[in-house]
Amino acid sequence: MKNFERSDLLNRLPDQFFANLVAKVKGLVEKGHDVINLGQGNPDLPTPDAVVKELQVAAANPAYHKYSPFRGFSFLKRAAADFYKREYQVDLDPESEVAVLFGAKTGLVELSQCLLNPGDLALLPDPGYPDYMSGIALANAETHLMPLLESNAFLPDYQSINHEKWEKAKLLFLNYPNNPTSAVADRSFFDETIAMANKHNVCVIHDFAYGALGFDGERPQSFLQSEGAKEVGVEIYTLSKTYNMAGWRVAFAVGNRSVIESINLLQDHMYVSLFGGIQHAAAKALTGNQTEVSKLVQTYQNRRDRFIDRLNAIGWKVEKPKGTFFAWLPVPDGFNSESFADLLLEKAHVAVAPGNGFGENGEGYIRVGLLDKEERLEEAADRIAALGLFDK
């Protein structure tokens, strides 16, 4: 069989770091071990019944068996605008300030292709979501990494970026509540971001995937709540986390009209939008009763409390995350991120994500997903305690 060479575009793509972790977990499970897998970012709870039933009804509607409108049904874009008005008091024009996406990951990768030319520069958080890099590689552009350090509450220090980098930058990626650090950002930070974006003519891309997941009564801030945000950027919102709809692949971008038009133009040449039944159910999720969302946030908070309290009880002194469904934990002395993650998997059969998989400044941490029952999370902590690494 002939071996056809990959394009240069594919060869530029970064390696998928977590494929190795998936393989390791699979190997242990196949040997019969009970692995508590906290290394994933995949919601473990089902989509609310009401949303599922909406899809079941919509799937029988012949109107949805045809091609969807290229840029999505107007009712879904109106639902997204209504959602932002209700949740964040942000006004959006459904047709010009909302773009329907095949999941947030797709939009985040597309944006680099929409707005970057070869040699252009994007500012990226480090640690950060690895697929930001993928879109930049596809665009054949360059990156400048912004360290997210505990000493600065895991926020980028804009003053540490030199003038030359600012002047060359075309895009700035942010993500709060943050994956992997679980940090949150306040309005003053987004105000500062807008001021810097205006000064240097940079487009801001705010990944708001965990927008619903704030704890202790604190509501995560939307980038668009800051004055002037729509002038300088867009926000990406997904239904994956808020409504446990990760497999449905539905999200939207909102904000700057020129960026929304660019996304729509690219997608005109790639897709004929989402299946209409999914759009119908997604609109109902956004505009319907939000009780299930409140219950979900409480579930994650309960899990967080049980797990982190148990870790502190065994002598691992860690802080409770303020948002997302992750915990960002410092590794004990004598280990790096990978060696500690390997130890937990091999000796305790607890899978976690090593922090260096998210960037150089993720070294010294592991990311733990609060994506199992409280009892299993507490059992994971007990298994770690049995390794005898911490003083009670």
Q: What 3-state DSSP class applies to 192?
A: helix
Report the percentage of the chain scoring pLDDT > 70: 100
Q: Helices in the chain by DSSP H: which ranges?
A: 8-12, 19-30, 49-59, 74-88, 104-115, 131-138, 163-168, 187-200, 229-232, 239-242, 257-268, 276-287, 291-313, 337-343, 374-385
Closest Cα partner for 371 from 36, 5, 129? 36
Count other C-beta atoms under 10 Å from residue 117's C-beta. Answer: 9
CA distance readout (Å), 321 to 67, 153, 180, 347: 43, 12, 11, 26
- Mean pLDDT value across the chain: 95
The one-digit pLDDT tens for each residue of the chain (392 residues) are 989 999 998 999 888 777 778 888 888 889 998 999 999 889 999 999 999 999 999 999 999 999 999 999 999 999 999 999 999 999 999 999 999 999 999 999 999 999 999 999 999 999 999 999 999 999 999 999 999 999 999 999 999 999 999 999 999 999 999 999 999 999 999 999 999 999 999 999 999 999 999 999 999 999 999 999 999 999 999 999 999 999 999 999 999 999 999 999 999 999 999 999 999 999 999 999 999 999 999 999 999 999 999 999 999 999 999 999 999 999 999 999 999 999 999 999 999 999 999 999 999 999 999 999 999 999 999 999 999 998 75
For the chain, the distance separating the N- and C-terminal CA atoms, rounded to the nearest angstrom, is: 61
For residue 272, give Cα distances in angstroms to 64, 67, 100, 280. 12, 7, 11, 16
Fold of 11-40+291-385: Aspartate Aminotransferase, domain 1 (3.90.1150)
List, by residue range, all CATH 3.40.640.10 domains of the chain.
Answer: 49-287
Cα–Cα distance measured from residue 254 to residue 46, given in angstroms and rounded to the nearest whole number: 26
CA 151 to each of CA 156, 216, 322: distance values in angstroms, whole numbers, following the listed order: 11, 22, 16
Comma-separated ranges of CATH 3.90.1150.10 domains in the chain: 11-40+291-385
Q: Which amino acid is at 28?
A: L
What is the pLDDT, as a whole number, of residue 40? 87
Is 193 in contact with 165 (CB distance < 8 Å)?
no
Fold of 49-287: Aspartate Aminotransferase; domain 2 (3.40.640)
* pLDDT at residue 28, as a whole number: 87
DSSP classification of residue 68: P
